[in-house]
Chain A
């Protein structure tokens, strides 16, 4: 006679529910109890500036001539980015900072002297010009030329800043790159990088001119990705110039 086992009767649904509960609990422990993400805090970075960046001086020499203020392009100078970077609180760093501060002050004095000289020259030139030509039309012409000159100076300062940051970017990439064995020293790889304002790199990095060594290039590309965020100027005006950055990277050990 086949009968259902009385001791087992009605237990099957309970058993299944308990089994599912056990699996659910185990899954919860796995999902919420284990840290599947692990974060690495990057080392702190500090930049040391030995001398004052150029644009600070360009802003000051608003020509003291009685002429009306020059073209508005000069009116929006880049604020000094020298104040932003240093943040490390090391004693050694502090000493270095003090040295840098001293150097900066001297550089500032030097610049001021130069600027004063420049201003004097400009003033005399303007006076002479005024004396030579009374016609208003020609005066306007001269004013325009002067404005153009100042704008050019600002442009140059800007270019210097960009070069400085480019160098910082290249240095960071180089620090993050491990060039593999057997790659020729000194060959150059040229890339175009699209950089977001946060310093992150928008993929893909475009290789303009490969160096000829594929493993070397791949190593550099990995180094570029590892260098995120790239050091960018604090000024959004300047930062815009880094949106597409052309870099020449030499393979060096």
Chain B
């Protein structure tokens, strides 16, 4: 016959005290949410990168700016970030041209302001939910630790009622409590990794957008000259 010491995962969770169970439930929810944001941001950023690359290619392939603008504004609901920036800048440029006044500095600064506004809006959308990942990464270990401390307190309080203290009295309680820390870490580690990764990805996208904005305003500036050229 074999002697078995049986600590299963299920009993560890079900035997824990109510507060520890609440902490575990909270951590599970937070972990689920953070993972869903991780996947959502992963797919979003991948799509954004693909759209940016695609637009850059079609922009630098020498297409006429007017046709590009019309094509972009036709399906503006599906447009990528860079297309929106282009659209905002070119629209501002067209308005100036329609108004007749083609002062170079005025037009360029107007176009740049319009593109900057759209750029900021797009960046805000790309960065959405990243703060949640950062919060989870920094806070959930503490939440788990709180559950653990509470569980260990309970384990030791139970020990006070027993005349003869052995390790067997405390060990299950501590094991239960430590599950909370494990869950906190399980939620935190991927969140931190994903946050760092995505922040880096978004920075790279931002650099691409900014360089495009500079180059595009140069192109527009060159277009003003021949129009003004007397």
Which residues of A come within 8 Å of B, CB atoms? 3, 5-8, 11-12, 14-16, 18-20, 22-23, 26, 30-31, 34, 36-42, 198, 200, 214-215, 218, 228-229
User: Which residues from B are CB-within-8-Å of A12?
Assistant: 36, 40
Question: Could you tell me if A19 and B32 are in contact, using CB atoms closer than 8 angstroms?
Answer: yes
Q: Does B156 contact A (CB under 8 A)?
A: no
User: Which residues from A are CB-within-8-Å of B51?
Assistant: 7
User: Which residues from B are CB-within-8-Å of A26?
Assistant: 186
Q: Measured between C-beta atoms, what is the minimum distance from A225 to chain B in Å?
A: 11
User: Which residues from A are CB-within-8-Å of B164?
Assistant: 215, 218
Question: Could you tell me if B35 and A36 are in contact, using CB atoms closer than 8 angstroms?
Answer: no
User: Which residues from B are CB-within-8-Å of A23?
Assistant: 28, 31-32, 35
- From A7, A198, A215, give the contact of B44 (CB < 8 A): A7
A42 with B79, Cβ < 8 A, contacts A14-B43, A15-B39 known: no
Query: Would you list the 4 A-B pairs with minimal beta carbon distance, nearest first?
Result: A19-B35, A15-B40, A19-B36, A15-B39
A14 with B4, Cβ < 8 A, contacts A6-B77, A7-B48 known: no
Q: Measured between C-beta atoms, what is the minimum distance from A85 to chain B in Å?
A: 16
Q: Does B219 contact A (CB under 8 A)?
A: no
User: Which residues from B are CB-within-8-Å of A198?
Assistant: 1
Classify the secondary structure of B's interface with A: helix
Q: Measured between C-beta atoms, what is the minimum distance from A6 to chain B in Å?
A: 5
- From B6, B43, B47, B126, give the contact of A36 (CB < 8 A): B6
Q: Measured between C-beta atoms, what is the minimum distance from A7 to chain B in Å?
A: 4
User: Which residues from B are CB-within-8-Å of A11?
Assistant: 39-40, 43-44
User: Which residues from A are CB-within-8-Å of B152?
Assistant: none
A-B contact count (CB 8 A): 86
Which residues of B come within 8 Å of A, CB atoms? 1-9, 28, 31-33, 35-40, 43-45, 47-48, 51, 77-81, 125-126, 128, 163-164, 186
Question: Could you tell me if A37 and B43 are in contact, using CB atoms closer than 8 angstroms?
Answer: no
With a 10 A CB-CB cut-off, give which of A6, A7, A31 has the most chain B CB atoms. A7
Question: Could you tell me if B2 and A42 are in contact, using CB atoms closer than 8 angstroms?
Answer: yes
- From A7, A18, A30, A218, give the contact of B80 (CB < 8 A): A7
Q: Which residue of B lies closest to A20 (CB)?
A: B32
Q: Measured between C-beta atoms, what is the minimum distance from B82 to chain A in Å?
A: 11
Question: Could you tell me if B80 and A6 are in contact, using CB atoms closer than 8 angstroms?
Answer: yes
* Apart from the given pairs A14-B39, A19-B33, 15 other A-B contacts in the complex at a CB distance below 8 Å: A6-B77, A7-B44, A7-B125, A8-B128, A15-B36, A15-B38, A18-B39, A19-B35, A19-B38, A23-B32, A23-B35, A36-B9, A41-B2, A42-B1, A228-B1
Q: In the complex, what distance in Å separates the CA atom of A6 from the CA atom of B80?
A: 7
- From A14, A36, A40, A228, give the contact of B8 (CB < 8 A): A36
Q: Measured between C-beta atoms, what is the minimum distance from B37 to chain A in Å?
A: 7
User: Which residues from B are CB-within-8-Å of A31?
Assistant: 9
User: Which residues from A are CB-within-8-Å of B9?
Assistant: 30-31, 34, 36
5 A-B pairs with C-beta separation under 8 A: A7-B47, A8-B128, A19-B33, A31-B9, A215-B164
Question: Could you tell me if B7 and A36 are in contact, using CB atoms closer than 8 angstroms?
Answer: yes
A39 with B80, Cβ < 8 A, contacts A7-B47, A15-B43, A16-B36 known: no
Q: In the complex, what distance in Å separates the CA atom of A70 from the CA atom of B81?
A: 109
With a 10 A CB-CB cut-off, give which of B37, B44, B79, B126 has the most chain A CB atoms. B44
User: Which residues from B are CB-within-8-Å of A36?
Assistant: 6-9
